[in-house]
Structure 1
Amino acid sequence: MYSGLILILLPLIIGYFLPITWKSILNVVNNLLSWMVYIILFFMGISLAFLENLSENLLNIARISLISALCIIIFNVIGLELLAHRYPWRHTHRQQVLPSRLQMALESLKLGLVVLGGFAAGLSHWAPLRHASEASEYALLLLLFFVGIQLRGNGMTLRQILLNRRGVTIASVVWLTSLAGGLLASLLLQVPLNTGLALGSGFGWYSLSGILMTESFGPVIGSAAFFNDLLRELLAITLIPALITRHRTSALGLCGATSMDFTLPVLQRSGGNEIVPAAIVHGFLLSLLAPVMMALFST
């Protein structure tokens, strides 16, 4: 029953506990990780093209991703606003001029285009492409190994995490409310509860959630998970500057796992350097939780 969870955790743990501190090696790992994401998402697109009743499944993907994203984000915002009311975040920072949000959104959409590219290639139904699912399983193990190295490379210690109470608290609220949103989505979509919970466990890490969910639930749910979490990141990029002054907690929480990397520059420019420690701890914790929770609900 727990073989899938062990399979996910083992390469992640091995990578995390490797004492790699050389910046040159970490840079190579980061580059390899980026390429692995592109490769696996390309395989995901190929698998999608081999589905039967393709047009019906594409509509199903859109329906699942939109409903799940809406449920999860609504629960997140309610929980984060209740937290902000009870635990106000005082600050004095004034916003700086931000880089083009359109350009940042286009960076996110690149991965969506990779999936579409794999889908287009899969439509040829070339015989070797039928092994895309098996190839992606091995690539996934390697990707999780690199993710473990990357997380350790950020230099976060248990002491630093536990001392930043705000980052831990916001991550906890996002975690719990995302699961609540996933439960509601499972009821509305009439899918098993564990599927809804797994959809709620991506925390905006669309590249990983799409891959893991495809391996566990097939290309329909996997693609829906990808677009569900992609919508979350695009929404965060768009709303951070508007929310950061009066709704600072929600601005951070909506970023999910990406507050440690992709959306961190936007948070820093909008909210100042004082938001950075909480953002890193918040993203770090959700990045650790995402593969574990998705694997747990896939067993």
Structure 2
Amino acid sequence: MFSGLLIVLLPLIGGYLLRVRSPRLLELINRGVSASVYLILLLMGVSLAGLENLAGQLSTLGGSTLVLFSITMVFNLAALGWLSRRLTLKAGASNVVENAPTSKLAAIKGSLLLLVTVVLGVVLGLLLAPLWGRELFTTADLLAEWALYALLVLIGCQLRNSGMALKQILLNRLGLAIAATLAASSLLAGLAAAPLLSLTPFEGLAMASGFGWYSLSAILIGDQLGPLLGGVAFFNDLARELLAFVLIPLIIHRHAPLAIGVGGATSMDFTLPVIQQHGGVACVPVAVVSGFILSLLSPPLILFFLSL
């Protein structure tokens, strides 16, 4: 029952046990994470190209993503809004952060590039399918799985060398509260969306457990429930990141916990520069802790719910 869980957790734990002191090696690890994400998404696009009646399936994918994302955001924003009224965090003045996005369009550009990568994968799959047949899609799934294992090792290494000690994480009450609120409200949204998507409750919970980690949720869900639902999980989590880029500058000074939490697991990496730029340094440790916890929760939760 838990073999799939162990297969995913072992690379993550193995990477976490690696202590890296060389800045150059850390830079290579960061680049490896980025490259692995793009490779996984390209291969996911190839798998989507293998769907029967692709046009009709893509329409279903879009509708299902809209349902799941809308319900998830309603639950997340309500829960995080409630938390923001109970626990306050004052955002500081905007800081000039090296390489930080200077506009919402610049921040969103990276997310749009991920979307383009998936589309390129679909086009590549359609072009190569007449030459390779169904073996192309089987090979793409296998390569995506191994790329995910490599990504998990690198992510684990990043988490270990992020500069956040376990004591700092456990003592950051607001970061813990944001992560717990985001996770709980997302799971409730998954339960609410499940019947509308013709899914079992446990499948709905699994679909909602990505918390913004789109490369992970796309592969794990796609492997168990098929490329169509893997695509729904990916676009649902990617849409979270896109919305976060838009909302963070608008609300972080009035509702900092809400602004940090809406990005889910991405608050420790992709949306962190925007949080730091518009919220100040006081928001950074809270965002990193929240994203760190959600990143650790996502793989075991997805596989646990899929195994039930």
Pick the TM interval, shorter chain. over 0.9
1:195 to 203, 226, 249: 203
In the alignment, the residues of structure 2 paired with residue 67 and residue 48 of structure 1 have an alpha-carbon distance, to the nearest angstrom, of: 20
- After TM superposition, the structure 1 = structure 2 runs for residues 65-214 of structure 1, keeping only pairs within 5 Å, are 65-89=65-89, 91=90, 93-95=92-94, 99-124=102-127, 125=129, 126-127=131-132, 129-130=136-137, 131-214=139-222
In the alignment, the residues of structure 1 paired with residue 286 and residue 186 of structure 2 have an alpha-carbon distance, to the nearest angstrom, of: 19
Residue 96 of structure 1 and its aligned partner are, at CA, apart by 5.9
- Corresponding position of 1:269: 277
Q: Identify unmatched segments of 5+ residues in structure 1.
A: none
Matched, 1:295 2:298: no
Map Cα deviations across residues 236-277 of structure 1 (whole Å, 9 max, x no partner): 100111111222211111011111111111111211111111
Say what the alpha-carbon RMSD is for the aligned residues. 1.5
Map Cα deviations across residues 131-170 of structure 1 (whole Å, 9 max, x no partner): 2112222222112111111111212221010111101111
Map Cα deviations across residues 43-89 of structure 1 (whole Å, 9 max, x no partner): 11111111112122111111111111111111111111111222233
Task: Please identify, of 205-214 and 285-294, the stretch whose mean Cα deviation from structure 2 is larger.
Answer: 205-214
In the alignment, the residues of structure 2 paired with residue 193 and residue 92 of structure 1 have an alpha-carbon distance, to the nearest angstrom, of: 38
Q: Identify unmatched segments of 5+ residues in structure 2.
A: none
Partner of 1:31, secondary structure, is helix
Partner of 2:52, secondary structure, is coil
- Corresponding position of 1:27: 27
Q: How many residues align?
A: 298
Q: TM-score, normalised by structure 1?
A: 0.95
Shift in alpha-carbon separation, 1:29–1:82, aligned structure 2, 3 A: same
For 1:110, the aligned partner's letter is L
- Corresponding position of 1:281: 289
Partner of 1:294, secondary structure, is helix
**Runs of 4 or more off by more than 4 Å in structure 1?**
95-98
In the alignment, the residues of structure 2 paired with residue 207 and residue 107 of structure 1 have an alpha-carbon distance, to the nearest angstrom, of: 14
1:256 to 264, 275, 278: 264
Task: Please identify, of 172-181 and 26-35, the stretch whose mean Cα deviation from structure 2 is larger.
Answer: 26-35
Query: Quick one: percent identity of the two aligned structures?
Result: 46
- After TM superposition, the structure 1 = structure 2 runs for residues 51-66 of structure 1, keeping only pairs within 5 Å, are 51-66=51-66
Shift in alpha-carbon separation, 1:218–1:242, aligned structure 2, 3 A: same
Task: Please identify, of 165-174 and 11-20, the stretch whose mean Cα deviation from structure 2 is larger.
Answer: 11-20
For 1:121, the aligned partner's letter is L
In the alignment, the residues of structure 2 paired with residue 21 and residue 67 of structure 1 have an alpha-carbon distance, to the nearest angstrom, of: 45
In the alignment, the residues of structure 1 paired with residue 160 and residue 14 of structure 2 have an alpha-carbon distance, to the nearest angstrom, of: 11
Is the 1:4–1:298 Cα contact (8 Å) retained in structure 2? no
In the alignment, the residues of structure 1 paired with residue 164 and residue 93 of structure 2 have an alpha-carbon distance, to the nearest angstrom, of: 28
Q: TM-score, normalised by structure 2?
A: 0.92
- After TM superposition, the structure 1 = structure 2 runs for residues 221-236 of structure 1, keeping only pairs within 5 Å, are 221-236=229-244
In the alignment, the residues of structure 2 paired with residue 92 and residue 259 of structure 1 have an alpha-carbon distance, to the nearest angstrom, of: 15
